[in-house]
Every structure is written in structure tokens, then in C-alpha cells.
């Protein structure tokens, strides 16, 4: 889907790679296979994903719904935050119960 969108927008993977700087290469740009790997879902790179979304003018969650929520946050981090919030709520309940028992 992303490759088709790029083609319709007149963008190539090589152009996207050239638009992203890299200190690891002599030419100073990212390698096209790195961009292709992100598009294909073989690797993750927020920087590349954001660049593609910006060039296509499409939100991250539309391009990678399995990785991003509508607000642009990573689903993995959201799940972790939810678990921490639930654990904190349980600790607060335990603390309240302990205070009632002590009284």
C-alpha cells in the first residue's frame, strides 16, 4: 500500500533516502534499502516513518495502524502506560485497604 502511495505521489524510495541525512555513509544520506525495509515492515525507524508520512501528507496511524494510535503515539508505549496506570491504581487500593484496617 505504501509503495503504491509513493508511486502515485511521484516519489521514489531513493528520493526519500536522499532526503534523510546519515552520518554513517560517505555521501551523507541514508541508504535506499533502509527505507525499503521500513516500508516493508522488516525494521522500524520512527525517523523514516515520520518522513514518509510527511511526504505523503498522511498520518502515521493510517500508514502503520499496527504501530501507531490516532494521536501518533506508539501503541507499545500506550500499552505499557496502561499497565503502569493499572498497577498504580491497584497499589492505591491496597494502600487504602491497609489504612482502613489500621483504623
Task: Give residue 21's pLDDT.
Answer: 87
Determine the Cα–Cα distance for residues 98 and 57; give it in Å rounded to an integer. 53
Using an 8 Å Cβ cutoff, are 38 and 48 in contact?
yes
Task: Give residue 78's pLDDT.
Answer: 60
62 shares a domain with 43: yes
Domain, as residue range, for 96: 73-103
Determine the Cα–Cα distance for residues 34 and 56; give it in Å rounded to an integer. 18
80 shares a domain with 68: no
Task: Give residue 69's pLDDT.
Answer: 85
Q: What is the mean pLDDT of each run of 10 residues along the chain (103 residues)?
A: 94 94 82 94 93 95 88 75 74 81 78
63 shares a domain with 86: no
Amino acid at each position: 500500500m505504501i509503495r503504491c502511495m509513493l508511486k502515485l505521489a511521484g516519489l521514489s524510495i531513493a528520493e526519500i533516502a536522499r532526503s534523510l541525512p546519515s552520518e554513517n555513509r560517505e555521501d551523507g544520506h541514508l541508504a535506499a534499502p533502509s527505507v525499503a525495509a521500513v516500508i516493508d515492515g522488516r525494521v522500524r525507524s520512527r525517523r523514516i516513518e515520520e518522513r514518509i508520512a510527511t511526504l505523503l501528507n498522511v498520518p502515521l496511524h493510517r500508514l502503520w495502524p499496527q504501530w501507531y494510535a490516532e494521536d501518533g503515539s506508539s501503541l507499545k508505549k500506550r500499552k505499557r502506560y496502561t499497565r503502569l496506570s493499572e498497577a498504580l491504581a491497584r497499589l492505591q487500593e491496597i494502600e487504602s485497604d491497609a489504612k482502613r484496617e489500621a483504623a
